[in-house]
Amino acid sequence: MSDAVKGWNRQQMADQIAREFQDGWIVNLGVGMPTLCSNTDIGDRHIIYHSENGVIGYGPIAPAGQEDLNLVNAGGQNVTLNPGAAVVHHADSFAIIRGGRIDVTVLGAYEVAENGDFANWRLAGTKGGGIGGAMDLAACAKRVFVIMEHLTRDGRPRLVRRCVLPVTARGVVTLVATNYGLFEPAGEGFRLRELAAGIAVDEVRSGTSATLVI
Amino acid sequence: MSDAVKGWNRQQMADQIAREFQDGWIVNLGVGMPTLCSNTDIGDRHIIYHSENGVIGYGPIAPAGQEDLNLVNAGGQNVTLNPGAAVVHHADSFAIIRGGRIDVTVLGAYEVAENGDFANWRLAGTKGGGIGGAMDLAACAKRVFVIMEHLTRDGRPRLVRRCVLPVTARGVVTLVATNYGLFEPAGEGFRLRELAAGIAVDEVRSGTSATLVI
Amino acid sequence: MNSKQYPSFRDAVADIPDGAIIAFGGFAMPGTPFNLIKALAEQGAKHLTCIANTTGGAQQPRMPDLGLLVEQGQVRKVICAFTAATRASDVLPFTKYYEAGEVEAELVPQGTLAERLRAAGAGIPAFYTPAAVGTELAHGRETRVMNGREYLLEYALPVDYAFLRARRADAFGNLQFHRSQRNFNPVMAMAARVAIVEVDEDILPVGAIDPDQVHTPGIFIHRLVRVPPPPGGIWPVVRQERRR
Amino acid sequence: MNSKQYPSFRDAVADIPDGAIIAFGGFAMPGTPFNLIKALAEQGAKHLTCIANTTGGAQQPRMPDLGLLVEQGQVRKVICAFTAATRASDVLPFTKYYEAGEVEAELVPQGTLAERLRAAGAGIPAFYTPAAVGTELAHGRETRVMNGREYLLEYALPVDYAFLRARRADAFGNLQFHRSQRNFNPVMAMAARVAIVEVDEDILPVGAIDPDQVHTPGIFIHRLVRVPPPPGGIWPVVRQERRR
């Protein structure tokens, strides 16, 4: 995936999502671009980052040479702990998730549909898949936000009327950041909440296989 | 309940049961007479006592004045901890029970039937009952042993063909110590494994409302 | 981040409405939130559904417990592992009100009670257990045979409030319990919308508890009150043993 | 009481038979029993059913993991939360064998995997979860609507052996984990008939760990092996980050 895409870069997409986080929220960040949300400056709002492996209240990536090799986030990166952190085992960690304590999960995706369905665990033509904690998170977090490139590598839209790939959960996504802008699945079509600098509305329209509501 | 009963006294009944404990067993002792099993000298066999409230590896009752007021066994008595003890919460404690890790639970009872059913949670004519952990323990421990007086206060047998009182679990009791002797529910009748000193077999027969197998 | 510390037990229970569902930690004296219960008795909320191991009052000396709330007419229903004494000679404070039909009771095996609370906290709406199969408690209820054994379907038990007691807390609500003080407290915290804790020791600064040694994470905890030393606060005492 | 300490990884895995069901702790590197896996690769048991978060091999540097056992032809089936890479450009060692039909796979959401192991250890034969409802994983399976929401029935996942890694153990097997080393390890210990642990530090005398600070009680643990310092023992290292 190249940074030489149109519109927002990876960090700017993450910034759009992170600015939604409210003080005191418990936030679970998926592997890849969602991880970048923790770099966003959101002032003095206190966020508690939860990771599937049972780490509650992790902080920034550990500086090189100062890693605790037994402390990783969901992406396997060596992170630090913020004051007030706690560690639980995997079943208790998913008890927190299924119990509805996660205010938002931010996930990557292959496709998001206008009805809030999304797909992120199996590519077309592959056997098996990579579910990880996404199905638990998507079914149970209070909010599901997605960060993804607006188009696939071969130029096809990822914002679609109905998912073609096998879904991760149905009707759960309420906010999507792409390099083209910030979108809300609106039942019929996607509402454009914010347009990325350097992107024209027509570009968004032609890159989206669902109605665009402005 | 008086000690002036015929045959074995309370501690002797408990001794009969405790002598069955094998080295390394995890043992759960019910409130009342079963508690006395931990007084029995069984040589160098190492027993791990488990209590419903999540204490694994508790030891003798704490000497007066040296109690830890936040450490009790299932009977609410202030106990001590043996080396290697661990404390877990209530759901984990019953995970241990339901998971089949308890080698034997020793319980008090109102009635035991020849088919291994037993009743210990509701007296006749009362509303409500006192189940505590008995139904979980009785359904899931590898063995269920019972200690009880041979006769009720008004002289009726507690070893019966079928339980009259509501049962705690079905077909689970394999050994019963009463003041008259040591008995095994045998499907039809009770096998007398040991007769208490000073008790005649005829006394046992007339005090048991099921066949006695000798 | 605001501290979760409240200045008094009265403040910590002030908003509890009539009809609330409340779980009370504790097994015998350890871990029982006597001070919060006393405050609730003074606050006066009514028609409560109360979840606890016992209905209270079986042990001596008498402490502020569920039995006190029943006697004060605050309780509509209890959900407990003990709703009657196991010895005919004992009489619980609860029994009179129960037999008179002034309070309802649901009797639940203790392990099932703990697991139903844990399930509520874990987003598990229902599960199967072997406990109580073949007993009166299973009459008319749904069972299922798996691998040749019969199991009973049990449902999660979510609560509005949990009243807990812990040894130690930081201002974020990370908790440590001492010995058998732990008992039901962690699973009740998980099951509750609002978890209120009375704490034995001074509330610590955030981060003072090793993350590996937190028994209940602060994300489950909403209010903390420090228990004053006796006689201002109520503390466990040695039980008066009775001959049996 | 006999110590549960074994002299070598080889001794600790010597009796594992063909066809065994084995759970492997670990999430990324922390808590992964690399040394026990290496010993099992040398021991050679076949037709194994292996339960772990991933099929291994996705991270660099490559460590002895489930992928190694698959490559050696020891594995009949895996039960994992990841059975394929999530990026088209990644290729797992597992994929070739899976696509060739030489090994079976059951793909399970991570929380369901953890809860199925916990259920096995907790004597809960089955439970309901909202995860995977409405997805391909739920096709043809039993669901149930409770309180207006649909849930999927999931079954306990008992295992014969668990391979674990912990920071600290006493000779009875009481365990402490360091930070995210904990992950699946405690629930796999609960789910196993025989739990085998590789331990970072020297095995402590019984009683050296505060009973309040035990993460996994020794009653669940059967064998302990001390991990030698590198290069004799295998330890987590910093992951080589890839650009994405």
Q: What is the CATH number of the domain that holds C219?
A: 3.40.1080.10
From the centroid of its chain, how far is CA B56?
18
Q: Which residues contact A72 (CB under 8 A, 6 or more apart)?
A: A51, A53, A55, A78, A79, D27, D28, D29, D30, D180, D239
Chains that touch A (3 or more CB pairs under 8 A): C, D
pLDDT digits (tens, 9 = 90+) for D218-231: 999 999 999 999 99
| Identity of the amino acid at D238 | V
Q: Which residues of chain B have pLDDT under 50?
A: 1-3
Q: Tell me how far apart the alpha carbons of residues D73 and A174 are, in angstroms, rounded to a whole number.
A: 45
Q: Do B86 and D220 touch (CB under 8 A)?
A: no
Q: Tell me how far apart the alpha carbons of residues C116 and C135 are, in angstroms, rounded to a whole number.
A: 19
Q: Do D122 and B98 touch (CB under 8 A)?
A: yes
pLDDT at position C40: 98
- Give the gap in angstroms from C-alpha B210 to the nearest C-alpha of chain D: 34
pLDDT at position D122: 98
Q: How far apart are the first and last CA of chain D?
A: 53
Of D118, D206, D219, the CB nearest to B83: D206
Domain that holds residue D72: 9-126+156-226
Q: Tell me how far apart the alpha carbons of residues C164 and D123 are, in angstroms, rounded to a whole number.
A: 27
Q: Which residues contact D12 (CB under 8 A, 6 or more apart)?
A: D6, D36, D39, D196, D223, D225
Domain membership flag for residue B5: no
* Angle of the B90-98 helix axis to the C110-121 helix axis, nearest 10: 120
Q: CA D92, D93, D96, D99: dihedral to nearest 10 degrees?
A: -60
Average pLDDT of A31-35?
94
pLDDT over threshold 70, residue A3: no
- With contacts defined as CB-CB under 8 Å, which chain A residues touch D186? 89-91
Q: Domain count of chain A?
A: 1
Nearest CA in chain D to C125: D128
Nearest CA in chain A to D94: A128
What's the residue count for chain D? Answer: 244
Of D121, D170, D207, the CB nearest to B95: D121
- The continuous run of DSSP H or E covering B10 comes out as helix B10-18
Nearest CA in chain C to B119: C135
Domain membership flag for residue A3: no
CA angle B89, C3, A80 (to 5 degrees): 70
pLDDT at position D97: 96
**Count of pairs with CB atoms under 8 A, one residue in C, one in D:** 58
Tokens of C113: 């009670």
For residue A109, what pLDDT band results from cuts at 50, 70 and 90?
very high
For residue D71, what pLDDT band results from cuts at 50, 70 and 90?
very high
- Give the gap in angstroms from C-alpha D217 to the nearest C-alpha of chain B: 6
Average pLDDT of A67-73?
97
| Distance set, CA B201 to CA B34, B149, B193, B198, C237 (Å) | 25, 16, 12, 10, 47
pLDDT over threshold 80, residue A5: no
Tokens of D15: 């009796």
Q: Tell me how far apart the alpha carbons of residues A27 and D119 are, in angstroms, rounded to a whole number.
A: 27
Chains that touch C (3 or more CB pairs under 8 A): A, B, D
Q: How far apart are the first and last CA of chain C?
A: 53
- With contacts defined as CB-CB under 8 Å, which chain D residues touch B56? 217, 219
Domain membership flag for residue C137: no
From the centroid of its chain, how far is CA D78?
11
Count of H helices and E strands in chain D? 6, 12
For residue C183, what pLDDT band results from cuts at 50, 70 and 90?
very high
- Give the gap in angstroms from C-alpha C180 to the nearest C-alpha of chain D: 9
Beta bridge partners of A150: none
Q: Which of A92, D118, D123 has its CA nearest to residue C123?
A: A92
Domain membership flag for residue C231: no
Domain membership flag for residue C240: no
Q: Do D129 and A128 touch (CB under 8 A)?
A: no
Q: Which residues contact D199 (CB under 8 A, 6 or more apart)?
A: D165, D166, D167, D168, D169, D224, D225, D226, D227
Q: What are phi and psi of A115, to 5 degrees?
A: -90, 5
Q: Do A86 and C1 touch (CB under 8 A)?
A: no
Average pLDDT of A169-187?
98
Q: Do chains D and C touch (3 or more CB pairs under 8 A)?
A: yes
Domain membership flag for residue B103: yes
Q: Tell me how far apart the alpha carbons of residues D206 and B54 are, in angstroms, rounded to a whole number.
A: 19
pLDDT at position B130: 95
For residue A1, what pLDDT band results from cuts at 50, 70 and 90?
very low
Of C125, C129, C176, the CB nearest to D146: C125
Tokens of D148: 């207006």
Average pLDDT of A94-99?
98
Q: Tell me how far apart the alpha carbons of residues C168 and C123 are, in angstroms, rounded to a whole number.
A: 27
Q: Domain count of chain D?
A: 1
Q: Which of A86, D55, D220 has its CA nearest to residue C207?
A: A86
User: What are the helix (H) ranges across chain D?
Assistant: 9-13, 34-43, 66-71, 93-99, 110-122, 185-191
Chains that touch B (3 or more CB pairs under 8 A): C, D
For residue D1, what pLDDT band results from cuts at 50, 70 and 90?
low
- The continuous run of DSSP H or E covering A96 comes out as helix A90-98
pLDDT over threshold 80, residue C1: no
Q: Tell me how far apart the alpha carbons of residues D34 and D15 are, in angstroms, rounded to a whole number.
A: 18
Q: Hey, CA dihedral for D86, D88, D93, D94, is it positive or negative?
A: positive
The DSSP secondary-structure symbol of D8 reads -
Domain membership flag for residue B4: no
pLDDT at position A59: 95
Q: Which of C199, C209, C185 has its CA nearest to residue C6?
A: C199
* Angle of the A90-98 helix axis to the D110-122 helix axis, nearest 10: 120
- The owner of tokens 């039993």 is D142
Give the percent of chain C with pLDDT over 90: 90
- Give the gap in angstroms from C-alpha D111 to the nearest C-alpha of chain C: 10
Tell me which residues of A are annotated as active site: 52
pLDDT at position D88: 73
Average pLDDT of C159-165?
98
CA angle C125, C130, C134 (to 5 degrees): 115
| Identity of the amino acid at C57 | G
pLDDT at position C62: 87
Domain membership flag for residue B1: no
- The continuous run of DSSP H or E covering A202 comes out as helix A201-206
Domain membership flag for residue C197: yes
pLDDT over threshold 80, residue C2: no
pLDDT at position B2: 45
Of C118, C130, C236, the CB nearest to B139: C130
Which of left, alpha, beta for C173 (phi over 0: left; psi -120 to 50: alpha)? Answer: left
Q: Do B51 and C180 touch (CB under 8 A)?
A: yes
Average pLDDT of C155-167?
98
Q: Do C151 and D127 touch (CB under 8 A)?
A: no
Please identify among residues 125-184 of chain D the ones whose CB lies closer than 8 Å to any CB of chain A: 129-137, 167, 177-184
pLDDT over threshold 60, residue D244: no
Domain membership flag for residue D62: yes
Nearest CA in chain B to D217: B86
pLDDT digits (tens, 9 = 90+) for D5-15: 999 999 999 99
pLDDT over threshold 70, residue A196: yes
Beta bridge partners of D198: D165, D225
pLDDT digits (tens, 9 = 90+) for B153-172: 999 999 999 999 999 999 99
Q: Which of A170, A182, A76 has its CA nearest to residue A132?
A: A76
Q: Do D184 and A89 touch (CB under 8 A)?
A: yes
Tell me which residues of B are annotated as active site: 52
List b or e across B7-25, with b for residues whose CB sees 16 or more CB atoms inside 10 angstroms. bbebeebbbbbbebbeeeb
Domain that holds residue B129: 10-213
From the centroid of its chain, how far is CA C186?
10
Q: Tell me how far apart the alpha carbons of residues B195 and B208 are, in angstroms, rounded to a whole number.
A: 13
- With contacts defined as CB-CB under 8 Å, which chain C residues touch B126? 84, 88
Q: Hey, CA dihedral for D216, D220, D224, D229, is it positive or negative?
A: negative
Q: Do C123 and D144 touch (CB under 8 A)?
A: no
Q: Which residues contact C15 (CB under 8 A, 6 or more apart)?
A: none
- Give the gap in angstroms from C-alpha C27 to the nearest C-alpha of chain D: 17
Segments of chain A assigned E as strands? 26-29, 48-51, 55-61, 79-87, 104-108, 111-113, 118-119, 144-147, 159-160, 173-177, 181-185, 190-195, 212-213
Interface probe for B, chosen from C102, C141, C183 (most Cβ of B below 10 Å), is C183
Contacting D with CB below 8 Å, chain B residues are 24, 26, 46, 48, 50, 56-57, 81-88, 91, 94-101, 140
Domain membership flag for residue A72: yes
pLDDT over threshold 90, residue D131: yes
Tally Cβ neighbours within 10 Å of residue D61.
9
Interface probe for C, chosen from B11, B36, B70 (most Cβ of C below 10 Å), is B70
pLDDT over threshold 60, residue A38: yes
- Give the gap in angstroms from C-alpha D215 to the nearest C-alpha of chain A: 9
Average pLDDT of C190-212?
98
Interface probe for C, chosen from D110, D212, D215 (most Cβ of C below 10 Å), is D212
Q: How far apart are the first and last CA of chain B?
A: 29
pLDDT over threshold 90, residue C115: yes
Tally Cβ neighbours within 10 Å of residue B137.
30
Question: β-strands C126-129, C149-155: how paired?
Answer: antiparallel
From the centroid of its chain, how far is CA B12?
13
Domain membership flag for residue A1: no
pLDDT digits (tens, 9 = 90+) for B95-123: 999 999 999 999 999 999 999 999 999 98
Q: Do chains A and B touch (3 or more CB pairs under 8 A)?
A: no
Q: Do A99 and C123 touch (CB under 8 A)?
A: yes
pLDDT digits (tens, 9 = 90+) for D26-39: 999 999 999 999 99
Q: Hey, CA dihedral for A160, A166, A172, A178, is it positive or negative?
A: negative
pLDDT digits (tens, 9 = 90+) for C58-87: 777 889 999 999 999 999 999 999 999 877
